[in-house]
Amino acid sequence: MAIDNNAKTSAESGGPGGLPGLADLLSLLSGASPLMAVGRVVEVVTQMTGEVVKSISTFNDTMTELNRVAHRVNNLLDEFEVPLREILPAVQAGVKQARGTLKRVDGIMNQVGTLPADVTKAVATLGDLAGRLGPLTQFAELAGGMFSTKSKSTG
């Protein structure tokens, strides 16, 4: 019942503004004015709204710059795409021709690598042939002597 008596007392006294219970509400807030608290809330909300607006503005600026960069990259790609498409077949043909040339050069190098051995073998074969033809040369000289002709080598 003490609460009812206090309520009656504050209502009878007319408190601030003559509203019943307002004085009790103010006393519960320990002297803090609700209007000041509402003012602080409004101030914080205003600051947060300002920060959100700044963040959104920065985000929009960033997106605008990214869009500009994307347009520039697309323009560069458009400029290079047509010449690249024209050059690409020639480059591919050049690479193919270079590979064929390398294969031929490898074959020639292998042949050149065996050339000294082949020359040595050919000289040996010629020497062997000359040695084997020696008796035939003597026979030809004898036959020429029999028929009264001289060999061109003897003379």
What is the band of 133 on the pLDDT scale with cuts at 50, 70, 90? confident
Q: What digits encode the pLDDT tens for the residues 17-53? A: 556 666 666 666 655 566 676 778 788 888 888 889 9
Give the separation between CA 27 and CA 3, rounded to whole angstroms: 14
Q: What digits encode the pLDDT tens for the residues 64-79? A: 999 999 999 999 888 8
> Would you state the pLDDT for residue 31?
52
What is the band of 150 on the pLDDT scale with cuts at 50, 70, 90? low
137 neighbors 121 (Cβ within 8 angstroms): no
Residue 137 has pLDDT above 70, yes or no: yes
Query: Could you say which DSSP state residue 16 is in?
Result: G
| Residue ranges covered by each domain of the chain | 98-150
